[in-house]
Structure 1
Amino acid sequence: MSKVKTRSYPSTSTPPVRSKRNLEEESCDEPMEGQELEVKVNETNNDVAMETEKPDQKRQQTDKKESGQSTIPDLNFPLPGETGPACIVKVYDEIDKFKVNDIVEFIGVLSVDPSLARFQNESSEDNSMSVMEENTEELNAHEPPPSLVPRLHAVLCNHLEHVNPLVPSSPDDIKQVLSNTQSIITTLREEILSVLEHALFGDKLAAKYFLCHLLANVYGRSDVVPLGKCSINISNCPQSTVYADLLHHLISNIVTQSHILHMTLDNMNKLRFSPKKDYTANRLCSGILQLGSQTNFIIDEVALQPGQLDVNGVKNIQALGNVISWQKVQYDFDFHHQDFLCNISALILSEGRSILPSDFFIPLQTKVSPSDIREYFQQLDPKLTDDFLVKCRTYIGLARHMEYGLSDDVQKRMQDNFVSMRKEDPKSMSVDDFNSLLNLTRLLSLSELKSCPTIEIWNMAKVMENCRKQRISELPQRQ
């Protein structure tokens, strides 16, 4: 089976080779394939005359170019530097069923015909010209040239639970794939842990938490609290952005969607994290946090150097914290703010403890200190075969979407343990600690593709948490 990857970070695919044409040149250039030449018909004698460019029009175009006005439309991609193809989808039925950040598969008719891309019905030429003069920016934003942004007239719209082609959506089909994978799960899990352990410089405990992070998925909410998320903060990371990039490259090979953010001062102060409404163009300007469901978000805090965050930088820090803690993205409409739910797994790489919140803080205890990090990661290449990566994606997809529950016996044992630990030392086990322990037990069970935890898994989670807390207690007070 061939390797299949779907990523949410900027695409490096090369767009179709063609010269980008501005809005004025659209009507006078030669027609592209699948595009009609715009003509005018004299209604009195049925003469057909192609529009030609007059010297005055050429002069106006030259003046616009010299004045620095860009005629290439803003495609409004959420992620900076994204160069993939853009498309406007026109939906005609059941528009209310679509929600923000939904993953939808559209099947329809692709059109690059300019006559089918009009912003407004034209009752008369005079009225049309006046509307265009008043709303030029809005027209350019909503109706870019079809040669650059084609229109897809949707016939079928399918909401997707995930974008992993190796995992079916039907529960019955998932059970079938699950039964086929169960025989190799023990060996596969150990191989994945070995790869993650190598990437974390020999730290076995951090590798187990890392695997739980990769399997995390928000499956529900209790009031405002998202259930199932697992954001982790790994500290003591190498002081180089190379490590974050290499780790992101590894993650992008085993999950379907991922993106990395380097928290430089320039990025924090200048980039737009939360979407913001542009009332002049009458559209929503995209933000980095408009990520699809089940995206693995790597945050490189090592790149943050001493300096001053401006107002926008502080807002971006708050937006990141809101996503990590509550799985909500705040949209800015100037006069009010609206929260929209999301499902993003955050991995924070830092030197000391991060300024951002996390569910599990893990100080890294390295067993090796390679002089060349790139060469160290290249040692994983023989293991990362196409067959192994396909198994990894299938395994992670199954673990994220399989059913999970607690038996009465296990639930009673957990409650009794919690009561006894509270009696021994009330400070050692708070309600939040118990909830974290339950979540870790769930993820460890799913890592073994078990729909119900065992007492052994529960005890393993307690040992892991005790080891993690012991590491934190041994840290210098400044961290």
Structure 2
Amino acid sequence: MRENGHASPSSQSKDSVIEGTSNTNFVTNAERNSLPCLVKIYDCPESELKLNEVFEFVGVLTLDSDVMADKNDQDESSYGFIEDELVHLPPEKVPRLHCLIHRKLDVNDFLHSSPMMEPKPQLVKETRESLLRHLTSILGNDGIAAHLMLLHLLSRVHARIDNVAVGKLSLNLTCLSKESVSVFGNQVRLSVQNLLPFTQCIPLTVNYLNTASLAPKKDYQTNRLIPGVLQLADGSHLIIDETQLETGTLNSTGVENARLLKNLMEFQKVEYNFEYYKMEMIADVQMLILSEGKSNIVPADLVIPFQPSSAASFEVVPAETLEAWRWYLASVRSLPHSIESDMQKVVESDLVAARQADRSLGGQDLSRLLTMGRLMSASFGETSLSLEHWQMVKELERLRRERLK
């Protein structure tokens, strides 16, 4: 990303300097003591740094002494004002990090113990079973929802064919009320936060849609790209809680925000607003919708009526167990996948039979079944689809469709 906030696919020569700003919006509690700055990277082609990828920079920080003096005189309650001041500083006053070393980070880099274990079948199977038990427990012993949740947490965009993001598997849990989401929804949110490095939750209301800044927008006065809620790191998990949504009127901002959410859900793309033109950027975001009825704003790949048979149980998970689950999700999620020729014939025959039995099935439904087959195999640490795992997918889909009737 260039200093002026415009994305460019072109590469620069090795003599060039790449500049980019750190995110000065949506500061988390853990980042309250951080300092926004301009990162200057030397001897590196611009194509190495892609939007929404996470990087670690090590270098020399240079800053204006007057700015630091003002910052040291402020207390914690005025942090937001300092942030605003830093954003609006003239270019020569902005703190700069002259980067010496940088590297792209992946999910494994966020594991506390960073265990570089090989995903052996027995180890993967045991970890899968314990994680599935945990998901079943927090979902009130709804085993079908727990299985679908596991596949959802393993999903990622692994290819793009035209406008289709292959590999995504968004999930919509329905039959949730304001009361039940305060129990089960909170349990799911806390569990996801403990399992994944990048998570975000949107409490969807009419007022939120009418006022939120979901799309990143260029501010030409400060010469900055102002981040939007949907500018998320690749591999992020987004929960959208629709249970607070009531009847109301959307203004132009609300209509645009609803369109942006639907666009992210269907195509895994986020539209960036450069005022004079708009540019779509690819994304890779897992999306979970909690709602009373089927969501019309963000139609998910999988819809499952939530049917708990008991109250969600709160359990204290040992740190080593959490770390094992994180390792499991990070490791099997990145496994390659293939379908052997014999198995491919079986799948094709089953899909043809399914289409003949139900003419309402479309290409997206068949593609989703293939994605579920891939994720089911990956959940067991396998890199090719087996007949057993394909049968499990068909049975899971049959049970899901029964609930929809």
Normalised by the shorter chain, which TM-score bucket? 0.7 to 0.9
Match of 1:295 in 2: 236
1:327 and 2:260 aligned: no
1:224 and 2:224 aligned: no
In 1: Cα distance, 2:272 partner to 2:231 partner:
10
Which has the higher Rg, Structure 1 or Structure 2? 1
8 A Cα contact 2:59 2:97, kept in partner: yes
Match of 1:431 in 2: 363
The 5 A counterparts of 1:21-420 are 76-78=24-26, 84=32, 85-88=34-37, 89-94=39-44, 96-97=46-47, 98-114=49-65, 140-141=88-89, 143=91, 150-162=95-107, 164-166=109-111, 177-179=118-120, 182-240=121-179, 242-243=182-183, 244-355=185-296, 356-368=298-310, 370=311, 376-378=312-314, 380-381=315-316, 384-420=317-353
8 A Cα contact 1:236 1:352, kept in partner: yes
Decide whether aligned partners of structure 1 residues 81 and 390 sit closer, same or farther in structure 2, where only a CA change above 3 A counts.
closer
- Number of aligned residue pairs: give it: 363
**Deviation for aligned residue 1:303:** 1.9
In 2: Cα distance, 1:164 partner to 1:408 partner:
36
Alignment identity in percent? 30
**Deviation for aligned residue 1:177:** 2.0
8 A Cα contact 2:108 2:330, kept in partner: no
Q: Deviations over 1:125-179 (max 9, x none)?
A: xxxxxxxxxxxx9982554966xxx53211122123435444999xxx97x5223
In 2: Cα distance, 1:417 partner to 1:211 partner:
24
Decide whether aligned partners of structure 1 residues 163 and 448 sit closer, same or farther in structure 2, where only a CA change above 3 A counts.
closer
Q: Deviations over 1:451-471 (max 9, x none)?
A: 111101111111111111121
Q: In terms of mean alpha carbon deviation, does 338-347 or 158-167 score higher?
A: 158-167
Q: What is the SS of the residue equivalent to 2:98?
A: strand
8 A Cα contact 1:167 1:398, kept in partner: no
Q: What is the SS of the residue equivalent to 1:452?
A: coil
Q: What is the SS of the residue equivalent to 2:178?
A: coil
Q: Deviations over 1:95-116 (max 9, x none)?
A: 5222211211212113334499
8 A Cα contact 2:167 2:371, kept in partner: yes
TM-score (norm 2): 0.82
Q: Deviations over 1:184-203 (max 9, x none)?
A: 22222122111111221111
Decide whether aligned partners of structure 1 residues 93 and 162 sit closer, same or farther in structure 2, where only a CA change above 3 A counts.
farther
8 A Cα contact 2:64 2:93, kept in partner: no
8 A Cα contact 1:141 1:283, kept in partner: no
In 1: Cα distance, 2:222 partner to 2:86 partner:
4
TM-score (norm 1): 0.70
Where do 5+ consecutive residues of structure 1 fail to align? 1-73, 118-136, 371-375, 474-479
Q: Counterpart amino acid of 2:270? A: V
Q: What is the SS of the residue equivalent to 1:91?
A: strand
In 1: Cα distance, 2:67 partner to 2:50 partner:
26
8 A Cα contact 1:233 1:348, kept in partner: yes
Match of 2:6 in 1: none
8 A Cα contact 2:176 2:306, kept in partner: yes
Q: What CA RMSD, in Å, does the superposition of the two structures yield over aligned residues?
A: 2.9
Q: In terms of mean alpha carbon deviation, does 206-215 or 261-270 score higher?
A: 261-270
**Deviation for aligned residue 1:320:** 0.8
